[in-house]
Amino acid sequence: MSNYLINIIGPTAIGKTSLSIKVARHFQTEIISADSRQFFKEMSIGTAVPEKEELNAAPHHFIQHISIEDKYSVGDFEREAINKLEALFKKHSTVIMVGGSGLYVKAVTEGLDNFPKADPEIRKNLNKHLLEDGIDWLQKQLFVLDPEYYKTTDVQNPHRLIRALEICIETGKPFSSFLHQPKKKRDFKNINIGLTADRELIYDRINKRVDLMIDNGLIEEAKALHSKRNLNALNTVGYKELFQHFSGDISLESAIAEIKKNTRRFAKRQLTWFRKNNDIQWFEFDEKPENILNYIQSKINT
């Protein structure tokens, strides 16, 4: 009998958590989170960590399992998630993975691409530019050296910008040319379920979620983390905008508007990433769960 990893993916605020719990309860199985924003113990409200009732509805893994001060890479996640899957597949023939972090989903389902090693001096120089010239300088460089990757990556994430640029500079080739290498062999089959909606509806759901986060205490959560704002984990939409407000750079109203705008941009990049995968079966966000379950069962029975 084959093992199946059911991947529930899509943009932020689309309803992945709710669906993943319904699917997990149907198959009486467990859930792996591939949302890199939800890994950190100190960040709950701004990363939309599932409510306690949701976490209790089905066993979850990789939710708030590390600290913002820990060094944790996508490679670490790939290794730990594969080990966890090996253990879970001894108990279940199906396991659920849910999340909107495309690179982390890819790491588990296909494996990471291998890249050449870059001279450490290149990264040192890029970090100096980040400090002196700001993230705009990195963004402009990436747009020139690799416009294809620029379109799909999170250009607000300096770590990803520097990682791509150091490869571009070291090799003289676009970072994207090293992507899409042959997939690693996995001991399970993937069933990919995507949730989507009209763009305006997605944006409306995002705006309402941000308002709810503010009502639920995001400002207080960000204040408690302000002293550690230079940590890479906190260079995250929802926190960095409030840090600007706390520093007196922008008003609270402007910070909230920026959170909404940057989250909408993030959702657009998520969709761009996932749309490249032809193995995803897309459903509208309000599709009846039984229809999605019937599709999953039909794939298992094939």
pLDDT one-digit tens code per residue, 135-154:
999 999 999 999 999 988 88
1 pLDDT higher than 80: no
Residue 157 belongs to a domain with what CATH number?
Answer: 1.10.20.140
Asked whether residue 150 falls in the same domain as residue 197, the answer is no
The string of DSSP letters for 27-57 reads HT--EEE--GGGGBTT--TTTTPPPHHHHHH
Asked whether residue 74 falls in the same domain as residue 9, the answer is yes
Asked whether residue 196 falls in the same domain as residue 78, the answer is yes
What is residue 49's predicted lDDT score, i.e. its pLDDT? 96
- Number of structural domains found in the chain: 2
Q: Which residue has the tokens 């407000």?
A: 245
Would you place residue 162 in the very low, low, confident or very high pLDDT band (cuts 50, 70, 90)?
very high
| Edge-to-edge strand ranges of the sheet holding 60-61 | 60-61, 31-33, 94-98, 4-9, 189-196, 280-284
Closest C-alpha to 295, from 110, 287, 100, 14: 287
3-class SS at 155?
coil
113 pLDDT higher than 90: no
Q: Output the average pLDDT for the chain.
A: 95
The tokens for 179 are 């992507």
Closest C-alpha to 194, from 94, 98, 63: 98
18-75: per-residue pLDDT in tens?
Answer: 999 999 999 999 999 999 999 999 999 999 999 999 999 999 999 999 999 998 999 9
17 pLDDT higher than 70: yes
227-257: per-residue pLDDT in tens?
Answer: 999 998 998 999 999 999 999 999 999 999 9
d(CA 179, CA 149): 10
Closest C-alpha to 235, from 135, 128, 102, 151: 135
**Percent of the chain's residues with pLDDT above 70:** 100
Q: How far is CA 199 from CA 12, 19, 59, 156, 266, in A?
A: 12, 20, 32, 21, 12
Q: Domain end: 178, 194, 214, which one?
A: 178
The tokens for 22 are 């319904």
The string of DSSP letters for 51-118 reads PHHHHHHS-EESSS-B-TTS---HHHHHHHHHHHHHHHTTT-SEEEEE-S-HHHHHHHHT-PPP----
Residue 188 belongs to a domain with what CATH number?
Answer: 3.40.50.300
Asked whether residue 103 falls in the same domain as residue 170, the answer is no
Per the CB < 8 A criterion, the answer to whether 280 and 270 are in contact is: no
Asked whether residue 16 falls in the same domain as residue 80, the answer is yes
The DSSP letter of residue 289 is H
Asked whether residue 208 falls in the same domain as residue 108, the answer is yes
Q: Is the pTM of this model over 0.95?
A: no
CB count, 10 Å around CB of 272? 14
The tokens for 134 are 């700001």
115 pLDDT higher than 70: yes
What is residue 156's predicted lDDT score, i.e. its pLDDT? 85
Residues making up the chain, counted from first to last: 302
Asked whether residue 89 falls in the same domain as residue 230, the answer is yes
Asked whether residue 287 falls in the same domain as residue 188, the answer is yes
For residues 134, 41, 11, 50, the Cα torsion angle rounded to the nearest 10 degrees is: -150
Query: Residue 139 belongs to what domain range?
Result: 120-178
Per the CB < 8 A criterion, the answer to whether 81 and 53 are in contact is: no
Asked whether residue 49 falls in the same domain as residue 135, the answer is no
The tokens for 182 are 């042959």
Asked whether residue 161 falls in the same domain as residue 195, the answer is no
Asked whether residue 145 falls in the same domain as residue 18, the answer is no
